[in-house]
Chains A and B, each alone.
Chain A
Amino acid sequence: MKRSRLLPHLWEIQNNYGYIPDHSITEISQKLNVSKIEIESVVSFYHFFHLKPTGKYIIYLNNSIISEYKGFREVKAAFEKETGCTFGVYDKNPLFTLFETSCIGLSDFEPAALINFHPFTDLTPEKVKTIINQLKSGVYPEEIANNPVSKIQYTPEYSKTVFFRNYTIGNSLKVLKNNSADEILEKISLSKLDGHGGAFFPTATKWEYCKNSNSEQKIVICNADEGEPGTFKDKSLLRNLPGLVIEGMIIAAYVTGAEKGYIYLRAEYKYLLKKLEDTLKEFEEKGFLGENIFGINNFNFSIRVVLGAGAYVCGAETALIESLEGKRGEPRVRKYFPTEYGYLGYSTIVNNVETFAKAARIIELGTDFFTNLGTEKSKGTKILSISGDVAKPGIYEVEWGITVQEILDLCQATSPYFIQISGPSGECINNKEFERKICKEDLLCGGSIMVFNKSRGVFKILRNFIQFFKTESCGACTPCRAGNQILYEKIRKFERGLCSQVDIDEVKNWGNIIKLTSRCGLGQFSTNTFIMALDKFQDYFSLKTVEVNKNLNVEFDMESATYDYDEVIKNTQH
């Protein structure tokens, strides 16, 4: 067995036994000639691999902020009540094991859960009761699972629609035959395509680095790990237009000379796997994948789908590569670009699902189509996934340059107060900024917009975000791992009403240190929202903080500090 097959292999064992038993770890370690601890270290990194036996049904309930505001707490209690199990505990129940999990890309159907990776949406305590009873009576989860299809709520007029327009398989690939790799690259470059996965790195530049590399092999990876809470736009493409994404990858292979491609699909989207694999098969049958693609001599390219296993950080490209290599998903030190040293050391490009889809449309529709759409620096359209306090959550394809206000009108937001752009790693904006434009010149958006109305507490939002980073940090570097635990304690202190201006200044100072010194994007962006919120929601904070004490006393909650003692005395003495 090759090390790079470790994740698929672990999935097999996990599916067979419900966990990764010790004897399997021993076997694998012997096959790979490594110590057992090395395999255990990989297994324990991923949320969906278990080292202890689980029940027949593993339930993962999403704990994102949207879920929290739509009834997470009640649903969680209902699961515990109906199953008799406790979340996060391996309690040897033969039927059920319960876990919370980070966003599963169903923000338009919250609260939502995965049961053996089948989606169950819009949960209520009553629904939970029915589901659990059905499962107990022997019904299979796939029989009663929902089929959540995100509604495409908006597309521009047809002549301006890029993604959600008619699709004919292979349309973009036809163009390859009459164009050299350089000519294709030129088209991508002219339409100013930037990566849509969040970092907005110019795609043509990345492809060119790879093309010019003298690496013995080239690799194309599609990043379908969409883990940023509140984001489900890649899912809409994978579900509606998987072929378009694949065409984008084929074009990338044509430009760079890659022969191997991987789609790293987050396990949370396992229910999309079949469709994706069927589409790949269709491509192979049509001669669009395989050897001498489209009759072009020596143009060989194949794609394999690899399932992630529950780790947000694996969306970071170097972490994704590590994960594909069968390791812990720790981002690499920033010494080389993946185009210099990527998967197994080969020159590698990693692009987002939407980036590939857009590249395919650029080649299909031509550069002019794009240069006339959007703003000076952001061309074409962008897919947004919108959730929260809006009447119409779902998918929106909008032209770059649209204002926040226009978006809020489209999705019928109700008294919007706190808008989170691009997920927890992005930034928050207040109601004085609604005229800002979504584009590179002003406000970039990776694809998630979460709307919170006036009744939603800012602390709760921030606490949820920090909790997310605290658990999803890869744990390798100090500022991100320890810093987010420290900030978590701080937000708890805010919630208890014990903070003053001193604490606000500290959060800014500490947050900036974490930003400055963390190794990868996760840590670097983890404190952004908290720092920004302090200024943008000053009114909220000034209501919830105390004045600095003139006697130089620090705010202290004596009652809660003596609570434990009083309780012990009460319970041990009568």
Chain B
Amino acid sequence: MKNISFTIDGRECTSVKGENLIEAARQNGIFIPTLCHFKHLNPIGSCRVCTVKVNGRTLAGCTIDVEEGMDIEVNTPELLDARKAILEMMFVEGNHFCPSCEKSGDCKMQKLGYEMGMRFTRFPHLFVDRIVDARPERIVVNQNRCIKCKRCIEEVITTDGYKVFNFTNKGNETKVSIDYEQEAKLSDAQAEQAMHICPTGSILVKGKSFSKPFGDRQFDLGPKGKMIRLNEVKKYKTTNKKKRIATTSLAGCFGCHMSLLDIDLGILDLIELVEFNKSPITDIKKFTQRCDIGLIEGGCCNTDNIEVLREFRKNCDVLVSVGECAIWGGVPAIRNTVPLEECLKETYLNSITSEENETIIPNHEDIPKILNKVYPNREIVAIDYHIPGCPPNANHIWNVVKSILFEEEYSIAYPEFKYD
């Protein structure tokens, strides 16, 4: 095999002729993100997260063999944005409730989200109802989390050579289905291998999940000292001399507020610098003055949430969605794949504790109406900044707040950037 040279983003690189671009780039210290690529597999080219340009033509990096003189673009702003967009598409197409996912912390897609600094998705979530198939012997297939990367289709083969997974249907209904007969033939080790090669939490082995505690999971810490690149940080102008903050919890659990308080003694320093206006922390119910920052926990699940949110928008210079619920609905949005009627009937009329004809669905002019689904805040008012996490790390929150108020430069350490 002969050595060849080519360029990546203008930098001279060398490799052996015919080497796969993903590997060749890695050898030259350049990282191209991938999800469906697996070293020894034929290129699948399905996830498109590795999209690059070769001599000006856009292609999936994993399908390219390097050749002499190739001019490859990897980290141009256009490509960085396109790759991030594809990842965001995966998040909105499925139903990825990280805090309740067995694979959270060990999920390659989630890790890629951290590395790309994905704080929110530019696309609205689709909330399509998808099934969880627990019929197989050992494996559970959770369609909510499947990104259709095809890894399991290509890789999970019984000892006598039969495929266990395959696509069924086409178009937006495409899904990965499992062959029960073949699955039953898998050894324990093979089943665990299937779970392992799934880049998300779609393939699980019964009795093998949640085996590691928070902090010990594969991607909890990340490379030491690694900072999350946040390349979209805008400069916000705030108006007041004495900085004022307002907070509220909409369809949330107050977990984000607890996290706010988690900076321990740091809060004493902070109180010197800022004052709180309308907030559960001060118990001020109505805005008394205009605020620099409004921190919103939770999304909108009822008419009152919408009113409060609009009130905040009117009274705050900068509005921040804090936590997954505020950003896209989060855990309360698990109901978004189920029609409201079913949810309400199940809760109030048909639950085991409700007696027939004894219970009603609450409704009164003084109580807010439940919306047909949980809406992310950015679908109601303009949101200036998003802080991910369930709940977000305290340092992450305060770093963002301080940066907005005092225009301090900041970045977020890898372990402080989480979706769970």
When A489-B126, A516-B51 are in contact, do A40 and B166 touch as well, CB less than 8 Å? yes
Q: Does B85 contact A (CB under 8 A)?
A: yes
A562 contacts B372, C-beta separation under 8 Å: yes
B372 contacts A564, C-beta separation under 8 Å: yes
A277-B313 Cα distance, complex, nearest whole Å: 70
A569 contacts B361, C-beta separation under 8 Å: yes
A554-B78 Cα distance, complex, nearest whole Å: 27
Contact partner, B60, options A486, A510, A519, Cβ 8 Å: A519
- Count chain B residues whose beta carbon lies closer than 8 angstroms to a beta carbon of A: 74
B63 contacts A473, C-beta separation under 8 Å: no
When A470-B172, A519-B46 are in contact, do A554 and B380 touch as well, CB less than 8 Å? yes
B339 contacts A564, C-beta separation under 8 Å: yes
B168 contacts A44, C-beta separation under 8 Å: yes
Q: Does B179 contact A (CB under 8 A)?
A: yes
B381 contacts A567, C-beta separation under 8 Å: no
Contact partner, A517, options B86, B313, B381, Cβ 8 Å: B86
What's the minimum C-beta distance from B263 to chain A, rounded to whole angstroms? 29
What's the minimum C-beta distance from B281 to chain A, rounded to whole angstroms? 25
A476 contacts B148, C-beta separation under 8 Å: yes
Find the A residue at minimum CB distance from B339.
Answer: A564
A40 contacts B382, C-beta separation under 8 Å: no
Q: Does A471 contact B (CB under 8 A)?
A: yes
Q: Does B162 contact A (CB under 8 A)?
A: yes
Contact partner, B172, options A35, A481, A562, Cβ 8 Å: A481
A476 contacts B363, C-beta separation under 8 Å: no
Q: 8 Å CB contacts to A: which residues of B333-347?
A: 339-341, 344-345
Q: Does B163 contact A (CB under 8 A)?
A: yes
Q: Does B212 contact A (CB under 8 A)?
A: no
Segment with Cβ contacts to A, from B89-97, B283-291, B386-394, B396-404: B89-97
**B158 contacts across to A, CB distance below 8 A:** 35
**B182 contacts across to A, CB distance below 8 A:** 35-37
What's the minimum C-beta distance from B94 to chain A, rounded to whole angstroms? 9
When A486-B124, A564-B339, A565-B369 are in contact, do A558 and B306 touch as well, CB less than 8 Å? yes
Q: 8 Å CB contacts to B: which residues of A484-527?
A: 484-486, 489, 506, 510, 513, 516-519
**B47 contacts across to A, CB distance below 8 A:** 477-478
A305-B167 Cα distance, complex, nearest whole Å: 27
Q: Does B375 contact A (CB under 8 A)?
A: yes
**B45 contacts across to A, CB distance below 8 A:** 333, 477, 519
A485-B378 Cα distance, complex, nearest whole Å: 20
**B8 contacts across to A, CB distance below 8 A:** none
When A333-B44, A553-B310, A566-B369 are in contact, do A45 and B89 touch as well, CB less than 8 Å? no
A contacts with B: majority SS: helix
Q: Does A560 contact B (CB under 8 A)?
A: yes
What's the minimum C-beta distance from A170 to chain B, rounded to whole angstroms? 41
**A573 contacts across to B, CB distance below 8 A:** 360-361, 363
Q: Does A202 contact B (CB under 8 A)?
A: no
Q: Does A311 contact B (CB under 8 A)?
A: yes
**A565 contacts across to B, CB distance below 8 A:** 340, 344, 369-372
**B60 contacts across to A, CB distance below 8 A:** 333, 519
What's the minimum C-beta distance from B149 to chain A, rounded to whole angstroms? 9
A334-B49 Cα distance, complex, nearest whole Å: 16
**B123 contacts across to A, CB distance below 8 A:** 486, 510
What's the minimum C-beta distance from B36 to chain A, rounded to whole angstroms? 9
What's the minimum C-beta distance from A97 to chain B, rounded to whole angstroms? 18
Contact partner, A551, options B59, B147, B162, B314, Cβ 8 Å: B314
What's the minimum C-beta distance from B157 to chain A, rounded to whole angstroms? 9
A517 contacts B92, C-beta separation under 8 Å: no
When A37-B164, A486-B123, A517-B58 are in contact, do A476 and B369 touch as well, CB less than 8 Å? no
A458-B296 Cα distance, complex, nearest whole Å: 38
Q: Does B272 contact A (CB under 8 A)?
A: no
Q: Does B171 contact A (CB under 8 A)?
A: yes
Find the B residue at minimum CB distance from A51.
Answer: B168
A303-330 interface code vs B (CB 8 A; 1 in, 0 out): 0000000010100000000000000100
What's the minimum C-beta distance from A479 to chain B, rounded to whole angstroms? 6
Q: 8 Å CB contacts to A: which residues of B62-116?
A: 63, 78, 81-82, 85-86, 89-90, 92-93
A482-B90 Cα distance, complex, nearest whole Å: 7
Between A472, A482, A554, A564, the greatest number of chain B beta carbons within 10 A of the residue's beta carbon is seen for A482
Contact partner, A38, options B58, B147, B166, B171, Cβ 8 Å: B166
**B314 contacts across to A, CB distance below 8 A:** 551
B162 contacts A34, C-beta separation under 8 Å: yes
What's the minimum C-beta distance from A296 to chain B, rounded to whole angstroms? 40
Q: 8 Å CB contacts to B: which residues of A445-479?
A: 470-479
A38-B170 Cα distance, complex, nearest whole Å: 14
Q: 8 Å CB contacts to B: which residues of A23-47?
A: 33-38, 40-41, 44-45
A122-143 interface code vs B (CB 8 A; 1 in, 0 out): 0000000000000000000000
A37 contacts B46, C-beta separation under 8 Å: no
**B170 contacts across to A, CB distance below 8 A:** 44-45, 311, 313, 328, 471-475
Q: Does A483 contact B (CB under 8 A)?
A: yes
A475-B150 Cα distance, complex, nearest whole Å: 11
A513 contacts B85, C-beta separation under 8 Å: yes
**A518 contacts across to B, CB distance below 8 A:** 48
A513-B124 Cα distance, complex, nearest whole Å: 16
Find the B residue at minimum CB distance from A46.
Answer: B170
A477 contacts B46, C-beta separation under 8 Å: yes
A35-B60 Cα distance, complex, nearest whole Å: 29
When A37-B178, A44-B169 are in contact, do A513 and B82 touch as well, CB less than 8 Å? yes
**A553 contacts across to B, CB distance below 8 A:** 310, 313, 380-382
What's the minimum C-beta distance from A500 to chain B, rounded to whole angstroms? 11
Q: Does B208 contact A (CB under 8 A)?
A: no
Q: Does B238 contact A (CB under 8 A)?
A: no
What's the minimum C-beta distance from B255 to chain A, rounded to whole angstroms? 25
Between B46, B166, B371, B378, the greatest number of chain A beta carbons within 10 A of the residue's beta carbon is seen for B166
B154-165 interface code vs A (CB 8 A; 1 in, 0 out): 000010011111
B164 contacts A473, C-beta separation under 8 Å: no
**A556 contacts across to B, CB distance below 8 A:** 306, 375, 379-380
Q: Does A572 contact B (CB under 8 A)?
A: yes
When A40-B166, A517-B86, A564-B340 are in contact, do A485 and B126 touch as well, CB less than 8 Å? yes
Q: 8 Å CB contacts to B: which residues of A209-242?
A: none
**A563 contacts across to B, CB distance below 8 A:** 372
What's the minimum C-beta distance from B84 to chain A, rounded to whole angstroms? 9
What's the minimum C-beta distance from A340 to chain B, rounded to whole angstroms? 13
Q: Does A543 contact B (CB under 8 A)?
A: no
**B161 contacts across to A, CB distance below 8 A:** 33
B89 contacts A479, C-beta separation under 8 Å: yes
What's the minimum C-beta distance from A442 to chain B, rounded to whole angstroms? 24
What's the minimum C-beta distance from B114 to chain A, rounded to whole angstroms? 19
Find the B residue at minimum CB distance from A520.
Answer: B45
When A333-B63, A478-B147, A519-B48 are in contact, do A486 and B169 touch as well, CB less than 8 Å? no
B313 contacts A551, C-beta separation under 8 Å: yes
A83-B371 Cα distance, complex, nearest whole Å: 38
Q: Does A1 contact B (CB under 8 A)?
A: no
What's the minimum C-beta distance from B88 to chain A, rounded to whole angstroms? 9
**A564 contacts across to B, CB distance below 8 A:** 339-341, 372
B89 contacts A486, C-beta separation under 8 Å: yes
Q: Does A335 contact B (CB under 8 A)?
A: yes
**A333 contacts across to B, CB distance below 8 A:** 43-45, 60, 63
Give residues in A with beta carbon < 8 Å to B.
33-38, 40-41, 44-45, 311, 313, 328, 333-335, 470-479, 481-486, 489, 506, 510, 513, 516-519, 551-554, 556, 558, 560-569, 572-573
3 cross-chain pairs, A with B, having the tightest CB-CB distances, nearest first: A475-B174, A37-B179, A41-B166
A-B contact list, 18 entries, CB within 8 Å: A34-B163, A36-B181, A36-B182, A37-B165, A38-B179, A44-B169, A473-B171, A475-B173, A481-B148, A486-B89, A516-B78, A517-B48, A517-B85, A517-B86, A561-B375, A562-B370, A562-B372, A564-B372
Given contacts A513-B86, A554-B380, 10 further A-B contacts (CB under 8 A): A40-B166, A41-B166, A311-B170, A334-B59, A472-B171, A478-B49, A553-B313, A562-B370, A564-B340, A565-B372
